[in-house]
């Protein structure tokens, strides 16, 4: 498959403790018992095997990407190939000088998403536990330039929904050049998590909860054996901390320590349970009802 878009995992480091993150899964420590940091030479060598890349996403399914010690070197290399970059960050790392320097080696083709989950520290930290809202705002301001490629990424839960709809929140995030509103996904059973403190608050809004659960029931039935695979449709793949390639982060999480065999036919024919929400009829229902955030 022609790959135009890859998402990279650079380390197993994170300064936050977001309750729904894979880091809070009971299986996390068994799967990643030691801290890992990918060698920059290995990362670049692997990227060289993707000659047609248009996007590199430094997001991190288990990590905070801006904690990577070779971050500037990697970004500089990616931009030397005229590849667009998307960074998703909790925003509470490094200092304002670091963020201002990053802005100088990126351009208007790129995007940096700073996580904002409320207009007050008390609301924000219910999900973004361990991060400081005031520092995120300062770092984002230091990064912000005329390129206007800074985004406030706002994840809507039931607990912060009213705040998101308030003038207070609108005014608070108005300093960002762009606002990206998204919604929480359907979480696993509480028994899956180590820290269950705020899980009861991190649920879909009441207006959408029943729709989420209905979609889950339909996905479990399995209407057909055909998938709408975003990896195929978007020519995208996921690269884990060991350099292994997967079609997406959900498949990566579900596959445990087993590498993917690269067989898209199995994925397109619903061979894996993890692909159930991407069954073509389920995916159409999600898109038609604005529920694509369910996964």
Helices (H) and strands (E) in the chain — how many of each?
A: 13, 8
Q: With 80 as the cut, is the pLDDT of residue 104 above it?
A: yes
Q: How high is the pLDDT of residue 186?
A: 85
Averaged pLDDT, 38-66 = 98
Q: Where are the domains of the chain?
A: 5-203
The DSSP output letter for 236 is E
User: Are 85 and 34 within 8 A, CB to CB?
Assistant: no
Q: How high is the pLDDT of residue 1?
A: 94
Q: How high is the pLDDT of residue 228?
A: 95
Q: How high is the pLDDT of residue 256?
A: 82
With left for phi above 0 and alpha for psi between -120 and 50, is residue 101 left, alpha or beta? alpha
0.75 exceeded by pTM? yes
CATH 3.20.20.70 fits 5-203, yes or no: yes
Q: With 90 as the cut, is the pLDDT of residue 293 above it?
A: no
Give every CB contact of residue 73 below 8 A, 6+ residues apart in sequence: 40
Q: How high is the pLDDT of residue 261?
A: 96
Averaged pLDDT, 2-19 = 98
**Rounded to 5 degrees, what are φ and ψ at 177?**
-70, -30
Q: With 90 as the cut, is the pLDDT of residue 193 above it?
A: yes
**Confidence bin at 290 (pLDDT 50/70/90):** confident
Q: What is the pLDDT of residues 223-265, one digit of tens each?
A: 788 999 999 999 999 999 999 999 999 999 998 878 999 999 9
Q: How high is the pLDDT of residue 225?
A: 87
Q: How far is CA 151 from the centre of its chain?
A: 14
Q: How high is the pLDDT of residue 72?
A: 98
Q: How far is CA 167 from CA 170, 178, 189, 273, in A?
A: 5, 17, 34, 42
**Rounded to 5 degrees, what are φ and ψ at 55?**
-135, 140
Which range, of 70-74, 129-133, 152-156, 280-284, averages the lowest pLDDT?
Answer: 280-284
Average pLDDT, the chain: 96
**Confidence bin at 18 (pLDDT 50/70/90):** very high
Higher pLDDT, 30 or 292: 30
Averaged pLDDT, 47-63 = 97
Residue with tokens 């990918």: 38
Averaged pLDDT, 161-178 = 98
């Amino acid at each position: 498959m022609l790959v135009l878009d890859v998402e990279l995992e650079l380390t197993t480091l994170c300064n936050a403790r977001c309750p729904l993150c894979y880091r809070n899964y009971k299986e996390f420590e068994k799967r990643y018992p030691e801290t890992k940091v990918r060698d920059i030479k290995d990362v670049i060598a692997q990227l060289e095997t993707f000659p047609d890349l248009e996007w590199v996403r430094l997001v991190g399914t288990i990590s905070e990407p801006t904690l990577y010690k070779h971050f500037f070197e990697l970004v500089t290399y990616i931009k030397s190939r005229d590849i667009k970059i998307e960074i998703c960050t909790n925003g509470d790392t490094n200092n304002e000088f670091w963020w201002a320097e990053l802005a100088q080696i990126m351009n208007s083709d790129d995007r940096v998403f700073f996580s904002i989950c409320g207009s007050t520290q008390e609301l924000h930290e219910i999900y973004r536990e361990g991060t400081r809202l005031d520092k995120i705002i300062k770092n984002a301001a230091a990064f912000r330039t005329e390129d206007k490629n800074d985004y406030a990424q706002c994840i809507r839960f039931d607990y912060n929904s009213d705040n998101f709809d308030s003038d207070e929140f609108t005014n608070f995030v108005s300093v960002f050049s762009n606002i990206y509103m998204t919604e929480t996904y359907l979480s696993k059973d509480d028994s899956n998590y180590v820290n269950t403190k705020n899980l009861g608050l991190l649920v879909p809004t009441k207006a959408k909860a029943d729709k989420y659960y209905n979609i889950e029931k339909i996905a479990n039935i399995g209407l057909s054996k055909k998938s709408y695979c975003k990896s195929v449709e978007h020519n995208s793949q996921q690269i884990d901390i060991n350099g292994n390639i997967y079609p997406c982060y959900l498949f990566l999480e579900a596959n445990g320590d087993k590498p993917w065999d690269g067989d898209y036919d199995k994925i397109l024919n619903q061979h894996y349970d993890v692909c159930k929400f991407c069954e073509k009829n389920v995916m159409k229902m999600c898109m038609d009802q604005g529920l694509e955030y369910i996964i």
